[in-house]
Amino acid sequence: MAMKWAFAVGILGILAASPASAGRTTERFTSLTVFGDSLVDAGNLFIANGGTRPDPALGYFEHRFTNGYDYPDLLSVDLFGKPTTPSLAGGNNYAFGGARIVDTGDSIPDLQAQINAFKLSPQGIDANGLYVLNFGGNDVFGAKGVFGPVGAIGSYPDISSYLQAAAQQYVSGIQELNNLGARNILFTDFPMAGDPLTIEANGYLATALKGLTLSAGTDLFQYSLNDLNQRALTDPASLDLPPLRFDTNCVAAGAQATGCAGFFSFDGVHVTAAVQAAGYKDMDRKFGLTMAQAVPEPQSWIIMIVGFGVIGGALRYRPAKAPRSAAS
């Protein structure tokens, strides 16, 4: 009986002292680093091409590819009081419009190039920071020929091989960040809702993720932009959105002055700021990105250690058994 009570007390001590998030030791994330494509580009492409794209005259907001802040910007505003800053302006947002996972030889910094630029920067890894990866759309666009010839997949023999390589390289990027010391990683899937190649690519992604080996204490947050876009189109109320038009886009309709109210797409490729904001709120609800987490005080760690000690002592203690009689 005494051993049972000791075990219970020990467990309670451990639970009372356990940190709410294994991936960091601060109440909130202390930095935000972004890798990705135009969906989360804070102005790198605009700076790189001399300020001609995205064209501010069409209503693109502060060099983003939509009419307002994107979801990493909104997270940054909530955490630090300001949006993300492009890496070409000295910030932590390395995303580039047109970036892919796979490097097919163009001048746009793709996934590995963005990680390499981060490694060469003076920032260093922040174990209490959040690292966001948002890729995949342009890999599918390239395979479909949206911005060029169909099957713009470099030296890969076919589209399926390319998509499989994209999924594997995406997971390799996540693995590299983990190996560098990142302990809080959020990544999104291939985002084009209902598209057959996107479904195929996300299947490869699920398989590749099974080979991921994370360090102890790493928190991995997977968010499906595919599902978000599907919900925005078929069940917008579930995201606190009004019914959305998808027969045309805000720019084509000349509705920028209305804030693109009631539109799913801003320009035919990128979603409106309202959908970005809905996705951010959904992520925050799911992962508690802005929620202050309880961090163990020194005395809490002592309680935890004592708890383990009580359990260890209880398990080592074994009362002597009465000798059995010959009749037993």
For residue 275, which of 260, 290, 293, 292 has the smallest C-alpha distance? 260
pLDDT at site 294: 59
pLDDT at site 18: 35
Q: What is the pTM of this model?
A: 0.83
Domain boundaries, the chain: 1-18+300-319, 27-295
d(CA 194, CA 229): 9
pLDDT at site 144: 87
pLDDT at site 3: 43
d(CA 98, CA 114): 13
| CA 188 centroid distance within chain | 5
pLDDT tens digits, 27-77: 999 999 999 999 999 999 999 999 888 999 999 999 999 999 999 999 999
pLDDT at site 170: 98
d(CA 327, CA 74): 78
pLDDT at site 292: 80
pLDDT tens digits, 77-86: 999 999 999 9
- Residues of the chain scoring pLDDT < 70: 1-23, 147-151, 293-328
Q: Tell me 56's DSSP state.
A: G
- Asked if 41 and 88 touch (Cβ cutoff 8 Å), the reply is no
- Asked if 47 and 89 touch (Cβ cutoff 8 Å), the reply is yes
| Ramachandran category for residue 217: left, alpha or beta (phi over 0 → left; psi -120 to 50 → alpha) | left
d(CA 118, CA 82): 20
**What average pLDDT is seen over the chain?**
86
d(CA 268, CA 246): 9
Please list the residues that pair with 256 across neighbouring strands.
Answer: none
Provide CATH code, domain 27-295: 3.40.50.1110
Question: Which residues are CB-neighbours of 271 under 8 A, at least 6 positions away?
Answer: 39, 66, 229, 232, 264, 265, 279
